[in-house]
Chains A and B, each alone.
Chain A
Amino acid sequence: MRGKTLIVLCGLAAALLARNLYVMLLELPDEAAQGPIFRIIFFHVPAAWTAFLAFLGAAGASLLYLLRKDLRYDAFAVALTEVGLAFAAANLATGMIWGRIIWGIWWTWDPRLTSMLVCWVLYAGYLTLRHAVEEPGQRARVAAVVSILACVDVPIVFFSIRWWRTQHPQPVVWGGGSMDPAYWNMLFLNWIPLLLLGAVLTALRMRQESWQREIEGLRRRAHAL
């Protein structure tokens, strides 16, 4: 993506976010049972969706790398994974803060929370593994396999609240939970700036991967001279 496109997307995300913050803080009423803390859901859930989308995209890009051996797919996979990991961290942190007030505890080894933490650790492991392998082709191949395997945890996190008895609230999307339409709209409206931000960060991270490849190429040339 070009620099100007990235700036426009960033501006759009900031404008949407400012508008959403205004609506969620000043126009939307407090949730009857939970009070103001309920509004954390407008960041908590879209952050998880963005992370899941990034992880699934990374698995797709990894599969394409294994099929076509094109390092651009590997760059796309690592960029998506890193961005997804940041959003997953935001999801875990907001969930813990919400849990402290609603459940009275920061953390519990509940299937949803545990599977999400496992997901985060798996993808952090993917990034650590990339640092351990020097040769770019081998690094991309090993990382692609790990990314595809780690992706198995994404549906486990998503369906964990249906498959097991859990303390986590029931799903509001495609499940038994329900929500006021105004809250529902805000949930999706606040996903848009997060998606835009995710796209910008992924593009920036991909550009860094191409620079890294250029650096490796220049180093080889410098050694050869």
Chain B
Amino acid sequence: MDPRNFTYMFYGFLAAWLILAAYVAALAGRERRLQRRLDSLKRLLEDKEKGAR
């Protein structure tokens, strides 16, 4: 049996979870970015509406 058998099993587990963790991190980053954009647009609209009155 290949002596790297056991080590590669862990590489396999690690690869699966690293990929999913990278996706979760990307998702979290996008969530923060969207939240910031949404807040700034809401503020901008409030300011514009106040200015229009």
| Chain A residues in the interface with B (C-beta under 8 A) | 34-37, 39-40, 43-44, 47, 82-83, 86-87, 89-90, 93-94, 97-98, 100-101, 197, 201, 204-205, 207-208, 211-212, 214-215, 218-219, 221-222, 225
CA distance A214 to B41 in the complex (A): 10
Which of chain B's residues have a CB closer than 8 A to the CB of A97?
8, 11-12, 15
Q: Is the CB of A90 within 8 A of B20?
A: yes
Docked Cα-Cα span, A52 to B41, in Å, equals 38
- Interface residues in B, total, Cβ within 8 A: 30
Q: Inside 8 A of B44's CB, which chain A residues have their CB?
A: 222
Chain B residues proximal to chain A, CB less than 8 Å: 1-2, 4-6, 8-9, 11-13, 15-16, 19-20, 23-24, 27, 30-31, 34-35, 37-38, 41-42, 44-45, 48-49, 52
Interface of A is mostly: helix
30 residue pairs from A and B, CB less than 8 Å apart: A36-B5, A36-B6, A36-B9, A40-B13, A44-B12, A47-B16, A86-B19, A87-B20, A89-B19, A93-B12, A93-B15, A93-B16, A94-B12, A94-B15, A97-B11, A97-B15, A98-B8, A100-B8, A101-B4, A201-B27, A204-B27, A207-B31, A208-B27, A208-B31, A211-B34, A218-B41, A218-B42, A219-B41, A225-B45, A225-B52
